[in-house]
Structure 1
Amino acid sequence: MAKPVSTSRLARGSKLGAVVAGQAVRKRRTKLFMIGRSAEARARLADESVLRMADQLVRVLGEMKGLAMKLGQLLSLLDMELVPPRHRDAFQQRLSVLFDHAPTVAFEDMRRVIEEDRGAPLAELFADFDPEPLAAASIGQVYRARLFDGTEVAVKVQYPGVDLAVRADLRNLGLLRIMIQQALPGFTPAVFDEFRNSFENELDYAVEARTQQHVAAVYADHPFITVPQAFPEHSSRRVLVTEFSPGIDFDAVRALPDIERDRIGEIIYRFYVGSCFELAEFCGDPHPGNILLRDDGKVVFLDFGLFKRMAQEHITFEATCLRAAAEDRSQDLYELMIDRGIIQYPAAVTPEECYDYILSAAEWMLVDEKLTITPELASGALLHAIDPRQPESAGMRRQNLPPEHLFSRRVGFWTCGVLGQLRATANWNTMTREWLYGAEPVTELGLAHRDWLRGRPPAADPH
């Protein structure tokens, strides 16, 4: 059982610092212990050290919840080279529990949140409520319940005090702004503000309920994508009530045969990346805890707290840049970036550096052949784009990257990370050409999706 969520900015900052310092000490101690040991003993000590590090991160970040826990989720999804290559699978597997099996908060504390927010006893709100949580994620826990009309629902409840905890983390993030900008100068004040606003929005489940209701309507009757219906009338700022949607989780999906995993990988790619180009909106939080597989083969997508809508001009610009990269038109891409105001200091960036920067994020979707996405490929793409030790794109990291550009890059990287965990294989470029060139689909799923797009009625905007 987790301890109450710490909301003090100083306490939360100190906890993160303690984790960092603890890993540094442990590495030095492990090195010292290894002197004079056999290769087998050194390997065993290293294994134990990696697993202790992962266990500590799960415990500390899991108890902290909020943005700290999201950091742990990122580390489990994309390998940031924190540990030696042969230990990374074990390290990431330990951290992966942060997606939906983090340390839980006592039911009585969570019940109090429901009753305070909804203004009535639990027995008056639900016909039945299972006190055992189905999942424990970064901001809340999920329970199974039943409404009085018989509808089976999932109830997501915010951890007590997590709103204060997230805001404390955001203030701590402000303290780190100078350090982050030294490594990633493209993270301008506007980007930080967008980042802060996005996570502030995640704290309002009433907004998320309306958003999910909208997305569920958009994907109603889709041949292979489904989004559970939300019930805004039963939701509030800290309580989200949605249709209960049974399905096997991502761990079980990873154990399926190759052909099934490849099919699911295509669906994930079409939902998270394709929706931006096709519908001008996308879910900004792709990760394994938000994906289920139904018995009928449909993939269920959950969690719409971080949902973005993009102006058509931004989508057109993204597509134009990707076409230039796909066609090896580095000079055209360079001039597009200058005209857009992204490259403010042309003398500091060459056309080749600009081209290389775009490829670091998108090359996997521009290769016209079957490609298996591995964890190493997914992590390498992200590290190439953000690692200050990489000289190739150093100039681009010092340009004026707009928030919408960075959020779409986030979705691309995180989707690639999910596909890497799935080890899905496809010709991702044939799908991408549907969005960039209006090409006809070549897969069975693509044809079914095209027919759905042509026949669907326009959905009402939730706002």
Structure 2
Amino acid sequence: MVPAFVFSATPTGATRDALVQSKRLQVRRQECRACRRSMRAAVSSGTDAAGSEIASPGQAVVMPKPLTSYERIKRSVTFWSRVVPILLKYRQTKRRIESSSTYLSKQEREEIWNQTHEWGSDELINVIQELKGFYVKSGQVISSRVDLFPEPYIRKLSVLQDSIEPIDTAIVKEIVRQELLEGEPLETLFSHFEEKPLGSASIAQVHRAVLVDGRIVAVKVQRPAEEPKLRADIANLKLFAKRFREQLPADYFIIFSELERALYNELDFQSEALNQEKIHATIAHLPNGQLAEPPLVVPRPIPGLVTRKVLVMEFVQGLPLLKAQAAMKERGYAASSPESRLVGLRLLESLTEAYSRQVFGSGILHGDAHPGNILVLPEASGFALIDCGQVKQLSGSLQQLLARTMLCVRDFGDFGKGSSAFPRAKVAELAGLVREFGVQVNGVDEEQQDNVLASCGLVLFGPSNMERLPGGLSPRELDPNSPIKQVSSFPQELVMLGRATILIKGLAARLNIPWFLAEKWAPAAEQALQCGVEGCYRVPVYAKPPPPVGAAQLPLRSSATAGRPKFREVVSLFRSWAKGKSIEMLPASAKSVLAERALAKQLEENK
């Protein structure tokens, strides 16, 4: 039975049940005391009831200690000595190619660059895995930027999205005992606690467990003595990004500054539990406050089982996105197969709708969007968004500005292809909106400033298949003619939103599916603007009372499709069909044909 402190209050009229519950709890405690007496007797003899050697709980656990000043300095020296040579190597390669461009073929130049990419990515992954800490988080950011970094970096750093070297489970259990049970045995609360972690990241480790009342949960435990190391790491990264701002493909000083702010909240699991509840409620409502089926699953915390260092939450069965891709490959589905693309398209649609509701609804934004935080549910029946440690609250004025920007960017859908010219007045309008965010560019004339600012808006929210940008700028961020190269200041408020949009556009690029984010978000933006005009002062959706038990929810309708049928029913039918034994007997070629037809229909619906 779960301890009484799990329950917030006794409902009126339930006094008798409460007494029964209390009596059961007393019996349970007596059993635990007897169990501990037996355990102490066994420890004194060095064996358990079956005669096996055991260790005394709490005595055999050696908790890690914070790094000393010397150790922190040593980490800094290691970081600088291993990372700076990578940048120097790229500078050397660039000079070599420029000086030999007259006699080197395009293929030879690409081969030289590929060799540098392979060497540099090996060096970077090695130093990150050696130092761990917050450097893992920076590696996750890099590996999610498929549009920005070379393929070897994406491939090798992708291992950081799922897990790193786990900490000893005995340490995890000891932390749980001290944080949740004041030193009492785990059996007081858990009937089962898995030894092998579900995942291990730079800040925390997660284990599957079963409460004594039968509920399956995930237990997230903060790594001990990590906070000083993480703060020192982020300071190092900020200094590095500032010193080498010109050599990096983007302004990572701004990015690391925002990650530093978010780190403070990530180290407080009570704050994360609150964020889980807010995001769970937000994506279950349209921006106008109307209840709707959530496009993603967000696990919720278990009331009463949350401290600053331990978070017990609902367990979600699923595979991280990267592992799910590998699993599909093992089952014979290539990344380019209709089946894989159909699942990818559904994920793309779900993420787009979930972030639309966050940005234009309550303004609560999940800011740690990367493949390791996206789970694919069994049989690809849906998706889950986990790890709500990094969350950004968008102000009402920022939401209104974003809404106006979406509608302006939407009008650029027919431009940037072929020889079509960008209307000067439209470029100036979008530039003015982007300037309101606080984006600043290096010293260029006014017209080119407008081109750069408008191009930044199109890079974040424009069509994924744009071939060029205003002023002849390039949509490829690694290109010397990229507008990002000319930005001198980028507001921290847009960093987390930028991570989400880049993740969505990067996924579309991998699937080779044209995806126009501003067009998808435009209906929600219109709802937000209308609410701003009408002054919709209302209780946030996450503070509303829950719907009555058994109340029917609305069918899944995104803001973009509120007035027309959704093809999701066809996808659901295809999924049900795939599970049927009779269909499983069909040859793979026949199933692929049907999947391809479902994919084509889904793509048609998303145009």
TM band (smaller chain): 0.7 to 0.9
CA distance in 2, matches of 1:362, 1:138: 33
Quote the Cα distance in structure 1 between the aligned partners of 2:525 and 2:203: 36
**Which whole-Å CA distance do the structure 1 matches of 2:241 and 2:115 have between them?**
34
Structure-2 residue corresponding to 1:61 = 128
1:415 aligns with 2:509: no
| 1:214 corresponds to 2:336 | no
* Corresponding position of 1:198: 262
* Aligned ranges 1:86-101 → 2 under 5 Å: 88=151, 90-101=152-163
The residue identity in structure 1 corresponding to 2:260 is R
Matching residue within 67, 81, 104 for 1:18: 81
Contact 1:286 1:418 in 2 (8 A): no
Deviation at 1:110, TM superposition (A): 2.8
Tell me what 2:382 maps to: 298
Distance 1:195-1:381 versus aligned 2 partners, 3 A rule: farther
**Contact 2:431 / 2:453 at 8 angstroms: preserved in 1?**
no
C-alpha contact (below 8 Å) 1:280/1:311 kept by paired residues: yes
What is the one-letter code of the residue matched to 1:314?
L
Deviation at 1:74, TM superposition (A): 1.9
Contact 1:253 1:293 in 2 (8 A): yes
Give the counterpart of 2:458 among 356, 362, 370: 362
Question: CA offset at residue 285 of structure 1?
Answer: 0.9
Q: Matches of 2:110 and 2:404 in 1, distance apart?
A: 49
The residue type equivalent to 2:431 in the other structure is: Y
Are 2:395 and 1:331 equivalent residues in the alignment? Answer: no
1:287-327 deviation per Cα after TM superposition (whole angstroms, max 9, x unaligned) = 11111122372211101001111111101112223333443
Superposition deviation, residue 248 in structure 1: 3.2
Q: TM-score, with normalisation over the residues of structure 2?
A: 0.58
Distance 1:434 1:447 in 2: 22
Structure 2 residue 442 is matched with structure 1 residue 350:
no
C-alpha contact 2:280 2:298 (8 A) present in aligned 1: yes
Q: Report deviation, 1:393.
A: 5.2
Aligned 8 A contact 1:99 1:138 in 2:
no
Where does 1:103-122 land on structure 2 (aligned, <5 Å)? 103-118=165-180, 119-120=182-183, 121-122=185-186
- Residues 222-371 of structure 1 mapped to structure 2, 5 A cutoff: 222-254=293-325, 255=328, 256-295=339-378, 297-327=381-411, 329-336=426-433, 340=436, 342=438, 348=444, 350-360=446-456, 362-363=458-459, 365-367=461-463
8 Å CA contact 2:374–2:385 kept in 1: the answer is yes
1:383 counterpart = 2:477: yes
Q: Secondary structure at the match of 2:129?
A: helix
SS of the equivalent of 2:375 reads strand
One-letter amino acid matched to 2:78: K
Which residue among 173, 179, 196 is the counterpart of 2:243?
A: 179
Check if 1:129 corresponds to 2:251.
no
Post-superposition Cα deviations, 1:321-347, rounded to whole Å, max 9, x if no partner, equal: 333344351222334455x38367997
1:146 corresponds to which of 188, 198, 210? 210
CA distance in structure 2 between the partners assigned to 1:43 and 1:321 by the alignment: 38
Residue identity in the other structure for 1:20 = V
Query: Could you tell me how far apart the structure 2 residues matched to 1:279 and 1:66 are?
Result: 32
CA contact (8 A) 1:55 1:95 kept: no
**Corresponding residue number in structure 1 for 2:139:** 72
Instruction: Note closer, same or farther for the CA distance 1:101–1:405 as it changes in structure 2 (3 Å cut).
Output: closer
Amino acid at match of 2:363: A
What is aligned with 2:164?
102
Q: Quick one: structure 1 residues 365 and 219, their matched pair in 2 at CA, closer, same or farther if it must change by over 3 Å?
A: closer
What letter matches 1:17 in structure 2? W
TM-score under structure 1 normalisation?
A: 0.74
Give per-residue Cα distances to partners, 1:438-458, cap 9 Å, x unaligned.
57426727999xxxxxxxxxx
More moved, 112-121 vs 304-313: 112-121
Q: Which runs of 5+ in 1 are unaligned?
A: 32-39, 373-379, 449-463
In structure 2, how many angstroms separate the alpha carbons of the residues matched to 1:293 and 1:26? 39
Residue 202 of structure 1 deviates from its aligned partner by: 0.8
Closer, same or farther in 2 for the Cα pair 1:18/1:274, shift >3 Å?
farther
Q: Does structure 1 retain, via aligned residues, the 8 Å contact 2:456–2:483?
A: no
Q: What is the CA-CA distance between 1:153 and the residue it aligns to?
A: 0.7
Amino acid of the residue matched to residue 233 of structure 2?
D
Unpaired segments ≥5 residues, structure 2: 1-63, 95-106, 285-291, 329-338, 412-422, 467-473, 528-558, 571-607
Q: Post-superposition shift, 1:262?
A: 0.8
AA aligned to 2:566 is: E
Question: Higher relative contact order at CA 8 Å, sep ≥6: structure 1 or structure 2?
Answer: 1
The Cα shift of 1:30 comes to 11
Question: RMSD between aligned alpha carbons?
Answer: 4.3
Deviation at 1:112, TM superposition (A): 3.3
Other structure's SS at 1:127 match: strand
Distance (Å, rounded) in 1 between the aligned partners of 2:87 and 2:241: 23
**In 1: Cα distance, 2:293 partner to 2:186 partner:** 35
1:406 is aligned, of 465, 474, 495, to: 495
Contact 2:217–2:315 (CA under 8 A) maintained in structure 1: yes
1 CA distance for matches of 2:265 and 2:123?
Answer: 29
After superposition, residues 428-447 of structure 1 pair within 5 angstroms as 428-437=517-526, 440-441=560-561, 444=566
CA shift, 1:75, in A, is 2.1
Identify the range of structure 1 (103-112 vs 298-307) with the bigger mean alpha-carbon deviation.
103-112
Partners of 2:268 and 2:131 lie apart in 1 by 19
CA spacing shift, 1:14–1:4, aligned 2, 3 Å = farther
Distance 1:100 1:179 in 2: 30
Aligned mates of 1:52, 1:335 — CA distance in 2? 43
Stretch of structure 1 that moved more, 195-204 or 143-152: 195-204
CA shift for structure 1 position 226: 1.4
Distance 1:6 1:354, change over 3 A: farther
What secondary structure is seen at the aligned counterpart in 2 of 1:436? helix
Distance, in Å, in 2 between the alignment partners of 1:6 and 1:78 is 32
**Residue 398 (structure 1) shift:** 2.4
Distance 2:92 2:481 in 1: 30
Contact 1:287 1:418 in 2 (8 A): no
Letter in 2 for 1:214: K
1:36 matched to which residue of 2?
none
Summarize the Cα distance change of 1:383–1:114 in structure 2 as closer, same or farther, 3 Å threshold.
Answer: farther
- Give the partner amino acid of 1:77: S
Alignment partner of 1:212: what SS?
Answer: helix
Encode CA deviations 1:332-374: one digit per residue, 9 max, x unaligned: 2334455x3836799745344334444345357433xx969xx
* Contact 1:280–1:315 under 8 Å retained in 2: yes
